[in-house]
Amino acid sequence: MSKRIEVNDLNIYYGKFLAVEGVHMTIEPRSVTAFIGPSGCGKSTLLRSLNRMHEAIAGAYVTGEVMVDSQNLYAPTTDPVDVRRQIGMVFQRPNPFPTMSIYDNVIAGYKLNSRRMSRATADEKVEKALQGANLWNEVKDRLSSSGSSLSGGQQQRLCIARAIAVEPEVLLMDEPCSALDPISTLAIEDLIQELKQDYTIVIVTHNMQQAARVSDRTAFFNIAGTGKPGKLIEMDATDTMFSTPKVQATNDYISGRFG
Ligand SMILES: Nc1ncnc2c1ncn2[C@@H]1O[C@H](COP(=O)(O)OP(=O)(O)OP(=O)(O)O)[C@@H](O)[C@H]1O
């Protein structure tokens, strides 16, 4: 299931504005990669370009290459809808569909793609995804309740269940804990550790401790100033990045001297 991502000379634009410049990186399968860096350096923009969500914004486009195993995501023959199925995304604010039950939220990906399945198959998929998101025991007796009846942390785990229900290869997470309390944050971090057995995971985080706790590799991005493009400064094993980074700016950011 899990796949390797190779980014080659990726430039990401909003119209004429070059937001992220010249990114080369490899994201390993069955591991967690953290994107860190000061506000505006393009972490979320790069994340969204990894499943072609970036181009959903009017005028937004990329140049360069994103390879997922041997598939070029930006090849003319690649279907962006298929890409977004293979590469799931979890956002900053839990966003379950408010009018849908917990059950329907989990299989929403299938319903939106009009994929028919028997009730027994749907039940199986719902249970498997909720188990995978560590939410099953808390909701198994109220699957028909609304998704919005859950706590914030439960809603975020529901969104993770929804993302993994369609069996993606990669999970992109954009500050998935920033709206959560510390207990729910730890639950999501534990879950990320479990999910990496099966998925390639990329997480954007402002929380250095979180990057250190959950990720295997860390990528540090920076900008030279307002209006300038964000760039990848350094990427390495998380332990190395937090103990002996090669670049001074990485050290300054990690030790809280800016950002
Ligand atoms: N929809 C958009 N249209 C135009 N410019 C955008 C859009 N979204 C982001 N940008 C710009 O792209 C640059 C990178 O933004 P992005 O949100 O990716 O940075 P970030 O590192 O994720 O920031 P933060 O940590 O604050 O979330 C910024 O200059 C931002 O203003």
Q: Which atom of ligand 1 is nearest the CA belonging to 41?
A: 21
Residue 99 domain flag: yes
| 37-94: pLDDT as tens digits | 999 999 999 999 999 999 999 999 999 999 999 899 999 999 999 999 899 999 998 9
Q: Which atom of ligand 1 has the smallest separation from the CA of 14?
A: 4
Segments forming the whole domain that contains residue 184? 5-254
pLDDT at 1: 65
207 located within any domain: yes
CA–centroid distance for 154 within its chain:
18
What's the total number of domains in the chain? 1
pLDDT of residue 180: 84
Residue 19, in any domain of the structure: yes
259: in domain = no
Question: At a CB cut-off of 8 Å and minimum separation 6, what does 49 contact?
Answer: 10, 12, 20, 62, 66
**Mean pLDDT, rounded, for 177-193:** 89
Note whether residue 62 is domain-resident. yes
**Cα-to-centroid distance, 44 and ligand 1 (Å):** 7
- For residue 158, pLDDT over 90 is answered with yes
For ligand 1, residues with CB inside 6 Å are 14, 17, 19, 37, 39-45, 57, 230
Q: Whose CA is nearest to atom 24 of ligand 1?
A: 39
Q: In 7-151, where does DSSP find H-type helix?
A: 43-49, 80-86, 102-106, 108-112, 119-132, 136-139
- Give the pLDDT score at 216: 98
Instruction: Give the Cα-Cα-Cα angle 14, 163, 32 (nearest 5 degrees).
Output: 75
The percentage of residues in the chain with a pLDDT greater than 90, rounded to a whole number, is 85
Q: Are strands 5-14 and 60-68 parallel, antiparallel or unpaired?
A: antiparallel
CA pair distance 120, 65, nearest whole angstrom: 41
- Write out pLDDT tens, residues 1-12: 689 999 999 999
Confidence band, pLDDT 50/70/90 cuts, at residue 122:
very high
Nearest CA to ligand 1 atom 12: 19
Return the closest-CA partner of residue 53 out of 73, 29, 33: 73
190-248 tens-digit pLDDT: 999 999 999 999 999 999 999 999 999 999 999 999 999 999 999 999 999 999 999 99
H/E run at residue 42: none
Q: What is the CATH number of the domain that holds 129?
A: 3.40.50.300
Calculate the average pLDDT of the chain.
Answer: 94
User: 105 in a domain, yes or no?
Assistant: yes
List, in sequence order, the alpha helices (H) in 87-170: 102-106, 108-112, 119-132, 136-139, 152-165
pLDDT at residue 179, as a whole number: 85
The burial class, CB within 10 Å (0-12 / 13-18 / 19+), for 42 is buried
Largest CA distance in the chain: 57
Tell me whether residue 184 is in a domain.
Answer: yes
- The pLDDT of residue 16 is 96
